[in-house]
């Protein structure tokens, strides 16, 4: 589904984020920033070694102890269609998804958008951060994802398009339902 929110096109779709042609795609990374499984593994594998090279430089310079949860950094997109990858780290929701974790998930979306803005990026695609290996419940995480993006647009109306790219039918349907509910509340 598509919706225009204050000049920004919001798209909710099912797909593989590594195929997206937005200027940037977001990676649900871990704090090592050196790759992993899930969407992270897919991005590094399709994007090629140039992404890891830049991640290593980031680790050697600004984040020697790793990328803190909720922060975001940018690298090349390597061989991907997207010119950039914005790497962020969501919270781990085992054993619980408490208020602190919710704030960290919000920060992951917010800081990814902030990095996009700083780099004058006009379009961005997000996966469902933290709802895979990090086990945050997607019913609640989807609400945080969508609300944070709308809040950022309210504050910093800068971006032409934001896509939420969901890997399964189930996740796609949850996001679509959540988005409609949020729009009804506005």
Residues that bind ligand AR6 (CB under 6 A): 16-18, 28-30, 36-40, 42, 90, 127-134, 165, 167, 171
Shortest CB 19 distance to ligand AR6, Å: 8
Q: Are strands 123-126 and 161-166 parallel, antiparallel or unpaired?
A: parallel
Shortest CB 2 distance to ligand AR6, Å: 18
Shortest CB 18 distance to ligand AR6, Å: 5
Exposed, middle or buried by CB within 10 Å (0-12, 13-18, 19+), for 108? buried
Q: Which residues of 160-177 are buried (b: 16+ CB within 10 A; e: fewer)?
A: ebbbbbbbeeebbebbbe
**What is the set of active-site residues?**
40
- What distance in Å separates the CA atoms of residue 23 and residue 151, rounded to the nearest whole number? 21
Residue (39 or 51) nearer to ligand AR6, CB? 39
Backbone phi, psi, residue 55, to 5°:
-60, -40
- What distance in Å separates the CA atoms of residue 128 and residue 156, rounded to the nearest whole number? 22
Residue (63 or 158) nearer to ligand AR6, CB? 63
Residue (158 or 161) nearer to ligand AR6, CB? 161
């Amino acid at each position: 589904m598509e919706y225009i929110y204050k000049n920004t096109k919001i798209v909710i779709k099912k797909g593989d984020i590594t195929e997206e042609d937005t200027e940037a795609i977001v990676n649900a990374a871990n704090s090592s920033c050196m790759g992993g499984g899930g969407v992270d593994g897919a991005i590094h594998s399709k994007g090629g070694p140039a992404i890891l090279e830049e991640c290593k430089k980031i680790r050697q310079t600004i984040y020697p102890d790793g990328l803190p949860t909720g922060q975001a950094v940018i690298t090349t997109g390597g061989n991907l269609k997207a010119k950039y990858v914005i790497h962020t780290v969501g919270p781990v929701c085992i054993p619980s998804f408490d208020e602190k974790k919710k704030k960290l998930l919000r920060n992951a979306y917010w800081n990814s958008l902030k990095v996009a803005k700083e780099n004058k990026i006009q379009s961005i695609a997000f996966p469902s951060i933290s709802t895979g290996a990090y086990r945050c419940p997607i019913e609640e995480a989807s609400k945080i994802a969508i609300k944070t993006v709308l809040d950022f647009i309210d504050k910093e109306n800068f971006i032409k398009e934001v896509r939420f790219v969901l890997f399964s039918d189930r996740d796609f349907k949850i996001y679509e339902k959540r988005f409609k509910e949020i729009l009804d509340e506005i």
